Structure 1
Amino acid sequence: MKHFYFCPDQGRDLERKLFRSWHNVLRKYEQAWQDNDLAYVYNQEANVGVLALAAWKIGRLPFLEFSVKKLTSPGRRRRYSGWGDLSIWPMEEGGKRGGILIEAERVQRSWKNKNDSMANKIRECLKKATGDASRISEWDARRMGLVFAIPFGARNGQFEPTTFWTTLVETRRSLKADFCAFHLCKRDIWSQQRKHKDCPGVAVIGKYIT
């Protein structure tokens, strides 16, 4: 069974490499923890930390919870001191150039619930994340809003990854997001969890600020 999904099929080579590494880091946690826990079910900060490890694994320099000047609103000149979730930089001399500044959100919803759908919550969270990213007014780097989306409600080990993935790809298209990815935990690990046995994986959807 396929355990890593990425869209689009062509291009976005850096993002594909980064999130393939993210998938592999999550696999390491799952191999070590087995039925005791899952790294991705925790809060936004924990998920951002896993992504930072993934960036390091592909030769990039991650920097977490950095202080930064932010605009009071996009287009305004007034600034205040705030925090960014994650920045990722090339591992080369010459200062901070060519990096990615990421503001993240997290959502956890039933993958079957049509009334309070995952897609609607992703839309809300991506708007907030991209809004936060657009306020960062320092450093020569691209800005990105990113949402971690955790589906739950997979009872008795039953989950349809292709159905969830199709919904995620359609959500990416409707939001004009740049990419999405999905890490699917192995069934014999997630379905045997002591506490989180209905959370089969985690997805991300990202959008750069133009």
Structure 2
Amino acid sequence: MNDQYVRISCPTLVPLKPVLQSWIACTERYVRVWDADDLPYWYNEQANVSILAGAAWKADWTAIEEYQISKIATEASEKTTSIGRNDLYIANDEWGYCIEAKVCYVAIDDLLNAQKRILEKCALATDDAGRLDYHEPRLGAVFVAPHSLDVEAEAEQIQAFKEMLHALPSDALAWITPENAQKTRSHDNKHYPMVALLLLRA
């Protein structure tokens, strides 16, 4: 049975609740269409961003990926701007968010190392988002895909991982453990029982 969760602790991100719920539904649908023989979140950053973009459209928002935007850099106490790309922008009639994303693959049975790596990715994502030259809320997004090698992750391991995620600092957190997610192993013999998404204001 699917287990899903959404928590938003920052008032500025409350409008994103339907998008996060839609992200869960889109992930679920992808897994169901492929009968759990393919998982969207064991792929790269762009694949994960595409699910979130699709979720925004499904929630009656708009989304655009990999578009040009000015970025600010600080060198020797001087600020300079250059043209770069932003991973994702989503908006509705009232709200808009610039999002810089990272993906983090971690072993589900090594919580200390997983926590360290997730926090590193969060710092990178928020730093990238903070360099966007834009007035609307800028967010770092980290997709977290824990895995177990060779054997399926145990229920206790999955629960402990969720508790670790819940304790991490974030402005919003969502996760989904799709039904039959561990039916098929990845190309490198790993099982991926769940995916989580952390959002942090830059």
CA contact (8 A) 2:108 2:153 kept: no
Distance 1:76 1:87, change over 3 A: farther
The counterpart of 1:128, out of the listed 124, 128, 145, is 124
Deviations along 1:41-76, whole A, 9 cap, x unmatched? 100100000000000011111010010010013985
Identity rate, percent: 27
Q: Counterpart of 1:13?
A: 14
1:53-92 paired onto structure 2 within 5 Å: 53-73=54-74, 76-90=78-92, 92=93
> What count of residue pairs does the alignment treat as equivalent?
196
Q: Counterpart of 1:192?
A: 183
Q: Provide the C-alpha distance between the structure 2 equivalents of 1:6 and 1:86, rounded to a whole number of angstroms.
A: 20
CA contact (8 A) 2:99 2:140 kept: yes
Deviations along 1:150-187, whole A, 9 cap, x unmatched? 00017235233332111001112xxxx2111111111x
Q: Counterpart of 1:36?
A: 37
Q: Provide the C-alpha distance between the structure 2 equivalents of 1:10 and 1:141, rounded to a whole number of angstroms.
A: 15
Show structure 1 runs of 5+ residues with no match. none
The SS at the match of 1:112 is: coil
Q: Which amino acid aligns with 1:4?
A: Q
Q: Please, what is the CA RMSD of the aligned residues?
A: 2.3
Q: Which amino acid aligns with 1:84?
A: N
Q: Provide the C-alpha distance between the structure 1 equivalents of 2:21 and 2:95, rounded to a whole number of angstroms.
A: 21
- After TM superposition, the score normalised by the length of structure 1 is 0.85
Alpha-carbon distance, 1:82 to partner: 0.4
Q: Counterpart of 1:47?
A: 48
Tell me whether 1:145 sits opposite 2:167 in the alignment.
no
Tell me whether 1:162 sits opposite 2:159 in the alignment.
yes
Q: Counterpart of 1:3?
A: 3
Q: Provide the C-alpha distance between the structure 2 equivalents of 1:86 and 1:130, rounded to a whole number of angstroms.
A: 14
Show structure 2 runs of 5+ residues with no match. none
Distance 1:57 1:137, change over 3 A: same
Tell me whether 1:202 sits opposite 2:195 in the alignment.
yes
